[in-house]
Amino acid sequence: MIEAQTWVSEILSKLREAFGTRLRYLGLQGSYRREEASESSDIDLVVLLDTVELDDLDAYRAVVHTMPEGHKACGFLCGVREFAAWPPHELFAFAKDTADHFGRLDDYLPPITHDDVRHGAKINASALLHMLTHSYLYADKESTRALLKEAFKAAFFLMQVVHYLDSGQYRASKRELLADLDGAQREIIEAGMDFPGWLEARSERQAFEMLLGWCRDVMCEA
């Protein structure tokens, strides 16, 4: 398992060597940023260049392949022009989940309004509701548990935004978020933190019922 700060410092040096002043931003997202990483966790990076052409993707991939456990690298690579034009409803949680390591992400973000945040919550809730409904109807039994695990992961990210809309507070980690929740919202986060353990006392059907009901509420009330 990597030490995140050391790893990011190393790839930053290599990216600056590869791209020079064209590198505008490097950030870290995900479980390593939240200090929730496990041995299997991806290393989620955010990289902005002045522009991104196919040759730049080749160069970036080559850098990643030189890194320890580079096969775990994933994330977001974009040019600053298209990033400034990105639909703002997708960028609220994206920005909140990103720690700056080179440059300031705020310098490149488009304006994000409260309505953008609400719109994003509704879109993500509807996408999750559709995925759950489709999985319940059509997924084979062997796939269902993995699909539910991904659904609980998606629910955590959506819950962060819903909690912000309800309280004005953005909680960066599951632990911080859990302290503010009760009822079904709390159980959704707890289930996502240890889904196999949660299932020992409950059924997959109960998981679908809980998540679908919550998604409906978010869509109608956010």
Task: Kindly list the domain boundaries of the chain, sorted by start residue.
Answer: 4-108, 114-221
Q: Over 90: is that where the pLDDT of 222 sits? A: no
Taking every pair of Cα atoms in the chain, the longest distance, rounded to a whole number of angstroms, is 55
Please determine, for residue 16, whether its predicted confidence score (pLDDT) is greater than 90: yes
In the predicted model, what is the mean pLDDT of residues 153-170?
A: 96
The two tokens of residue 24 are 């505008």
User: What's the CA gap between 59 and 212, in Å, rounded?
Assistant: 43
Q: Percent of the chain, pLDDT > 70?
A: 100
Burial (CB count <10 Å: 0-12, 13-18, 19+), residue 104: exposed
Please list the residues that pair with 54 across neighbouring strands. none
Q: What is the model's pLDDT at position 38? A: 86
Residue 22's pLDDT is what? 98
Q: Are 218 and 158 in contact (CB under 8 A)?
A: yes
**Cβ pair 97, 29 in contact under 8 A:** yes
CA distances from 198 to 160, 188, 193, 213 (A): 21, 10, 9, 18
pLDDT at 40: 85
User: Does an H or E element contain 101, and which?
Assistant: strand 99-102
CATH topology of domain 4-108: Beta Polymerase; domain 2 (3.30.460)
Instruction: Return the pLDDT at 159.
Output: 97
- Assign 189 a pLDDT band (cuts: 50, 70, 90): very high
- Lookup result for tokens 């953005």: 170
Q: Say whether pLDDT at 195 is over 90.
A: yes
pTM passes above 0.85 = yes
To the nearest whole percent, how much of the chain has pLDDT over 90?
Answer: 91
Read off the pLDDT of each residue in 39-57 and give the average, rounded to a whole number.
96
Q: What is the DSSP letter of 110?
A: P
Tens-digit pLDDT profile for residues 172-188: 999 999 999 999 999 99
Average pLDDT, the chain: 95
Mean pLDDT value across residues 41-58:
97
Query: What is residue 61's predicted lDDT score, i.e. its pLDDT?
Result: 97
